[in-house]
């Protein structure tokens, strides 16, 4: 029997209300050689019942129910249970765009050696505003792609990146990271494997307050753990590892900004100081320094 071409893996935790939209977006595609797998990560809402209803509507839908272990564990379970040649991880609150799977299949035929297929995406805000994010330029060189991703010149989003199964002979999502678990996999994938762009939006990413709160809840816990996983010397050669200091400093600055906007002054100060101690050049970034100075003046006048 020929191998299934694409497995769409949908990790789900307490998104029973939105899961049908994600599943429908896959089954409505005009592409037959596709497997769809929902991994219910110990949801406490009615995700299990909703999944059973969806299986009545879509008998091909596979479902796995596990104890809550986090998004990384759910993704890894999907890798183990799926059979497709290419895997895509679609968040349960997002959608595949119409024609996405056909576009990926065609690109695979055009560039059969590519093991990472990268498309654009739409983002949708709660107020209905939409923005198209075209696929970023994809460099031919792995080190350049790695640098582009770390410096946000190469945008990668779940649902819009399709991975060849062979990647996961070496890569896994870090299960000790309760958020940002996709960053090491994205970075290592573009660093180590041939990539090709798909000139189409492949996913629709729905932005909402729940996802933002979840990200902030675990941001401090996994802040530098993600960096350790990303710059794994067992996977990456020395030229890639040399980018660690600048990336770690920028990650700390990003966390500083997030906590500053959340008015968590203690954590904001912590991450600004950590950024500067990691890379003194952080002081040259005025947009961050100005916020830090305002924070210090604010404390002095309290």
Tens digit of pLDDT for each residue in 221-269?
Answer: 888 999 999 999 999 999 999 999 999 999 999 999 999 999 999 999 9
Residues 221 and 154 in one domain: no
Q: Are residues 10 and 55 in the same domain?
A: yes
187 plus 138 within the same structural domain = yes
Task: State pTM to two decimals.
Answer: 0.94
Question: Which residue ranges of the chain lie beneath pLDDT 70?
Answer: 1-2, 210-217, 302
pLDDT value of position 302? 66
Parent domain of 256: 217-300
Predicted confidence at residue 121, as pLDDT, reads: 98
Residues 44 and 130 in one domain: yes
Residues 198 and 54 in one domain: yes
- HSE on the CB side for 61, CA within 13 Å? 24
**What CATH number does the domain containing 163 carry?**
3.90.550.10
Rounded CA gap, 112 and 77, in Å?
27
C-alpha span between 133 and 205 (Å, rounded): 10
> Within this chain, do residues 98 and 245 fall inside the same structural domain, yes or no?
no
Q: Is residue 105 part of a domain?
A: yes
Nearest to 168 by CA among 192, 148, 143: 192
| Claim to verify: residue 88 and residue 189 sit in the same structural domain | yes
Residue 1 forms part of a structural domain: no
Cβ contacts of 207 within 8 Å, gap of 6 or more:
123, 124, 125, 126
Separation CA 231–CA 225 (nearest Å): 10
User: Domains in the chain: how many in total?
Assistant: 2
Instruction: Judge whether 123 and 55 are in contact, CB under 8 Å.
Output: no
pLDDT at 2: 64
- 181 plus 265 within the same structural domain: no
Among residues 85, 104, 94, which one has the least CA distance to residue 29?
Answer: 104
Pairing type for strands 130-133 and 116-124 reads antiparallel
List Cβ neighbours of 261 (8 Å cut-off, separation of 6 or more): none
Judge if 156 and 98 occupy the same domain.
Answer: yes
Q: Is residue 195 part of a domain?
A: yes
Asked if residue 210 belongs to a domain, the reply is no
- State whether 98 and 140 are in the same domain: yes
């Amino acid at each position: 029997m020929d191998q299934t071409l694409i497995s769409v893996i949908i990790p789900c935790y307490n998104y029973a209300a939105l899961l049908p939209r994600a599943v429908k977006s896959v089954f409505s595609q005009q592409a037959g050689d596709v497997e769809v797998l929902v991994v219910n990560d110990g949801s406490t809402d009615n995700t299990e019942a909703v999944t059973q209803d969806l299986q009545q509507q879509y008998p091909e839908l596979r479902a796995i129910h596990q104890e809550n272990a986090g998004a990384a564990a759910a993704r890894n379970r999907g890798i183990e249970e799926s059979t497709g040649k290419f895997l895509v991880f679609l968040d349960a609150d997002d959608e595949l765009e119409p024609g996405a799977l056909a576009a990926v299949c065609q690109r695979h035929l055009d560039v059969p050696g590519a093991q990472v297929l990268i498309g654009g995406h739409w983002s949708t805000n709660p107020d209905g505003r939409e923005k198209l994010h075209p696929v970023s330029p994809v460099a031919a060189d792995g080190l350049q792609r790695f640098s582009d991703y770390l410096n946000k010149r190469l945008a990668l989003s779940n649902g819009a990146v399709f991975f060849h199964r062979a990647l996961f002979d070496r890569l896994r999502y870090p299960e000790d990271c309760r958020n940002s678990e996709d960053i090491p996999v994205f970075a290592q994938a573009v660093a180590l494997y041939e990539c090709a762009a798909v000139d189409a939006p492949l996913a629709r990413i729905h932005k909402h307050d729940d996802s933002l709160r979840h990200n902030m809840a675990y941001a401090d816990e996994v802040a530098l753990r993600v960096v350790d996983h990303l710059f794994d010397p067992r996977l990456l050669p020395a030229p890639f590892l040399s980018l660690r200091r600048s990336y770690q400093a920028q990650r700390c600055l990003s966390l500083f900004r997030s906590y500053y906007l959340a008015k968590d002054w203690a954590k904001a100060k912590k991450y600004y100081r950590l950024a500067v101690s990691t890379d003194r050049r952080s002081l040259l970034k005025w947009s961050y320094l100005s916020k830090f100075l305002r924070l210090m003046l604010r404390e002095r006048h309290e």
